[in-house]
Amino acid sequence: MRREAIMRWLLPVIILVIALAAVPFANDYILYVLTIAVLMSTLAVSYDVLLGLTGYLSLAHGFLYGVGAYTAAYLTTNSGWNFWLAMLAAALMSALIGAIVALVAFRTKGIYFAVLTLGIGLVGFQFFLVLEPLTGGVGGFVGIPGIPSLPGLADDPSRNNLVVAIVLLAVTYFAALVFLRSSIGAACLAVREDVTLAQSLGIRVGTARLAAFTFSSAFAGAAGAVFAAISNFVGPDDFSVMATGFQVVVFVVIGGMGTLWGPILGAFLVVCLPEVLRGAATYSVAIYGILLLFFILFAPKGIAGAVLALRRLLPARPASVTQTARHSEAR
Amino acid sequence: MLEIEELSAGYDRLEVLRGVNITVADGGSVVVMGANGAGKSTLCRAISGLIECRRGAIRFDGADISRVGTSERVRRGIVQVPEGRQVFPQMTVKENLRLGGWIHGKAKEAALREIYDLFPRLEERQGQNAGLLSGGEQQLLALGRAMMGRPKLLLLDEPTQGLSPVAIEQVAEALISIGRRGVSILLVEQNLALAEAVGRYAYVLETGRCAAEGPAAELLSSDVVAASYLGH
């Protein structure tokens, strides 16, 4: 198995085990920070399917996350829907809106795509502000019911939220892996590498990109639904381009584009660092900035790239008897 | 199988092909030669649908495909091997091959087996990144990948460009072997030796028009080719 494939499976399992092991011991504050970090990881993984697989930088992902959050908030609060059904509806709504955005945005490429999605993100933000009957407008949407309790966690909403967030991350991650390994995922990679060559093989470029965008939007919507239920409140500022739109790009770039597991580390680092640096609050923004500069200048492939490079520095193991035999047979 | 009538195509305001007529019979092997800028690559792109057909008609298996998209043309059996050993360098040999069969759904192991039988070298290298293969191996991979698309007509755009004489021989052998399997071939080539080895019928393109045509053995040794292609 190749190094990257090992990391793709091993690292999420390690994170999952650590997060679950921390559940019984952490206080409510730590549990909340961990929950948000896991939720942002879900958003980052969903975004990596788009950025990593197509190479297109969308700044509308925060808006699609918001569509999911508001959809779930409205359905659970005003229509009395069950949270799980509302989450599914939120994912579908974000996927639908995402598909429409993709159909418009993929008419452009490069910097124009980024600027166009920036515009969509800004317009979406305005919609959240002005559609007051649906979104609560400037004041936001209040009184959103929490996540229903899982068996054994009825008296502990903080732990309940964390476990649900972890399950959503696991589902998103494995769905992304399946997508990546599917024929449509392979088509996305081919299109990213060489559009003309991909076309000459009969790959439908538009369909591949649309599929990646829609998939990515659906899981952003599901993450939004969980965020709404955890916070019991959502406001437009949570989904602005300047906040979530850019932040999710940072998660993926710092973590390592196209690896799926790297963005999880990126999200954890970005979410948890300010909490760790609370003692040096004056310098925390500067430290954050320096960290960004460090990654762009010295580790452009992100944490994942650095980890893989370190693994390559380790001395190679001598070939096993089985491997040697296999090579001899091949010859 | 393929009938091109009065085909005109180009880029933006530039009309590269001007009324080209070419026919490839079922199981036939046709070579198109010509100097640089004659429109050979544009012809390949127009047939595969990568650029629009402005005037004229392209018929394949009796149906007019002039307005049909690239993907549908591949599905119908027109598969192109683009100019310049194009492979996906970051993907393994096997992943490259699987992409060749993308249009027909998930590639079956049996389809891969056939390609490995045709090109045993690719089986040895199946786990290796395509970018690490030699030039000749990359070209064989491009051919194998095209064969995964189950072509009825294989379009080859200068497959020997930049290859060593040994690698050219390998490509020639591979093309002859593919031809024996009943696949029609339209080869755009500047290498006379390969053109003579593979082609049964030949066309010479000159500034976007067919300047000459005839049986490959006669035409490629004639003065027409020497004058328009070799420049003397």
What does the alpha-carbon distance between residue B228 and residue B230 come to, in Å, rounded to a whole number?
A: 6
What does the alpha-carbon distance between residue A201 and residue A182 come to, in Å, rounded to a whole number?
A: 17
Per-residue model confidence (pLDDT) at position A73: 96
Which among A201, A53, A286 is positioned nearest to B75, based on CA atoms?
Answer: A201
CB contact under 8 A, B90 and A197: no
State how far Cα A98 lies from the chain centre: 15
Tell me how close the Cα of B103 comes to any Cα of chain A, in angstroms. 6
pLDDT band at A323 (very low <50, low <70, confident <90, very high): very low
The answer to whether A36 and A226 have CB atoms below 8 angstroms apart is no
Residue A23 lies in a domain: yes
- Domains for chain B: give ranges and CATH numbers: 2-91+151-228 (3.40.50.300)
pLDDT at A57 over 90: yes
Instruction: State whether residue B207 sits within 8 Å of chain A by CB.
Output: no
Residue A167 lies in a domain: yes
List CB contacts (< 8 A) between B156 and chain A: none
- What token pair was written down for A189? 């990679």
Q: Which residue has the higher pLDDT, A152 or B212?
A: B212
Tell me how close the Cα of B194 comes to any Cα of chain A, in angstroms. 23
Residue A123 lies in a domain: yes
CB contact under 8 A, A183 and B103: no
Handedness of CA A180, A182, A187, A188 (dihedral sign): negative
Computed over its alpha carbons, how large is the radius of gyration of chain A? 21
Residue A211 lies in a domain: yes
The answer to whether A2 and A132 have CB atoms below 8 angstroms apart is no
pLDDT in tens, A220-266: 999 999 999 999 999 999 898 888 888 899 999 999 998 999 999 99
Q: What angle do CA A261, A265, A270 make, to 5 degrees?
A: 145
Per-residue model confidence (pLDDT) at position A285: 73
Average pLDDT over residues A28-38: 90
Residue A101 lies in a domain: yes
- What token pair was written down for B134? 């030699």
Per-residue model confidence (pLDDT) at position A326: 41
Per-residue model confidence (pLDDT) at position A155: 77
CB contact under 8 A, B145 and A331: no
pTM of structure: 0.84
User: Per-residue DSSP letters for A140-207?
Assistant: -EE----PPPPTT-TT-HHHHHHHHHHHHHHHHHHHHHHHHHSHHHHHHHHHHH-HHHHHHTT--HHH
pLDDT at B222 over 50: yes
CB contact under 8 A, B75 and A202: yes
pLDDT at A106 over 60: yes
CB contact under 8 A, A187 and B99: yes
* Residue linked to tokens 């390998």: B170
Least confident window among A318-322, B61-65, B71-75, B198-202: A318-322
Instruction: State whether residue B126 sits within 8 Å of chain A by CB.
Output: no
pLDDT at A322 over 60: no
Per-residue model confidence (pLDDT) at position A320: 41
pLDDT band at A211 (very low <50, low <70, confident <90, very high): very high
Tell me how close the Cα of B218 comes to any Cα of chain A, in angstroms. 33
The parent domain of residue A119 ranges over 3-241
- CA-nearest residue of chain B to A327? B124
Per-residue model confidence (pLDDT) at position A331: 36
Least confident window among A73-82, B88-97, B104-113: B104-113
Instruction: State whether residue A321 sits within 8 Å of chain B by CB.
Output: no
Q: Which residue has the higher pLDDT, A309 or A148?
A: A148
The answer to whether A223 and A216 have CB atoms below 8 angstroms apart is no
CB contact under 8 A, A201 and B124: no
Q: Which residues pair with B59 in a beta bridge?
A: B3, B64
- CA-nearest residue of chain B to A194? B88
pLDDT at B85 over 70: no
State how far Cα A165 lies from the chain centre: 12
pLDDT in tens, A120-151: 999 999 999 999 888 988 888 889 999 998 88
pLDDT at B206 over 60: yes
Print the SS3 string covering chain B.
CEEEEEEEEEECCEEEEEEEEEEECCCCEEEEEECCCCCHHHHHHHHHCCCCCCEEEEEECCEECCCCCHHHHHHHCEEEECCCCCCCCCCEHHHHHHHHCHHHCCCCHHHHHHHHHHCHHHHHCCCCEHHHCCHHHHHHHHHHHHHHCCCCEEEEECCCCCCCHHHHHHHHHHHHHHHHCCCEEEEECCCHHHHHHHCCEEEEEECCEEEEEEEHHHHCCCHHHHHHCCCC
Per-residue model confidence (pLDDT) at position B230: 56
CB contact under 8 A, A330 and B99: no
pLDDT in tens, B103-151: 887 667 888 888 898 888 899 998 999 999 988 889 889 989 999 988 9
Which among A257, A278, A279, A309 is positioned nearest to A52, based on CA atoms?
Answer: A257
Which of B88, B139, B188 should be substituted to probe chain A, the one whose Cβ sees the most A Cβ atoms within 10 Å?
A: B88
Secondary structure (3-state) at A233: strand
| Number of domains within chain A | 1
List CB contacts (< 8 A) between A204 and chain B: 71
The answer to whether B49 and B69 have CB atoms below 8 angstroms apart is yes
The answer to whether B153 and B2 have CB atoms below 8 angstroms apart is yes
Instruction: State whether residue A323 sits within 8 Å of chain B by CB.
Output: no
Instruction: State whether residue A167 sits within 8 Å of chain B by CB.
Output: no
Which of B73, B86, B99 should be substituted to probe chain A, the one whose Cβ sees the most A Cβ atoms within 10 Å?
A: B99
What does the alpha-carbon distance between residue A272 and residue A293 come to, in Å, rounded to a whole number?
A: 18
What does the alpha-carbon distance between residue A52 and residue A261 come to, in Å, rounded to a whole number?
A: 11
Mean residue pLDDT of chain B comes to 87
Tell me how close the Cα of B132 comes to any Cα of chain A, in angstroms. 16
Contact residues for A281 (Cβ-Cβ < 8 A; gap 6+): none
Least confident window among A110-119, A299-308, B217-226: B217-226
Residue A274 lies in a domain: no
pLDDT at B192 over 90: no
The answer to whether B99 and A201 have CB atoms below 8 angstroms apart is yes
Residue A226 lies in a domain: yes
Per-residue model confidence (pLDDT) at position A297: 87
pLDDT band at A281 (very low <50, low <70, confident <90, very high): low
Residue type, position A115, single letter: V
Which of A184, A192, A201 should be substituted to probe chain B, the one whose Cβ sees the most B Cβ atoms within 10 Å?
A: A201
Instruction: Give CB contacts under 8 A, 24+ apart, made by A163-166.
Output: A163/A20, A163/A23, A164/A226, A165/A35, A165/A38, A165/A39, A165/A42, A165/A226, A165/A230, A166/A16, A166/A19, A166/A20, A166/A38
Least confident window among A8-12, B13-17, B55-59, B133-137: A8-12
Secondary structure (3-state) at A65: helix
- Taking each helix axis from N to C end, the angle separating A205-231 and A183-193, rounded to the nearest 10 degrees, works out to 110
Residue A286 lies in a domain: no
pLDDT at A216 over 90: yes
Per-residue model confidence (pLDDT) at position A66: 96
Per-residue model confidence (pLDDT) at position A181: 87
Least confident window among A11-25, A53-67, A70-84: A11-25
List CB contacts (< 8 A) between A198 and chain B: 99
ipTM (interface predicted TM): 0.85
pLDDT at A321 over 60: no
- CA-nearest residue of chain B to A182? B106
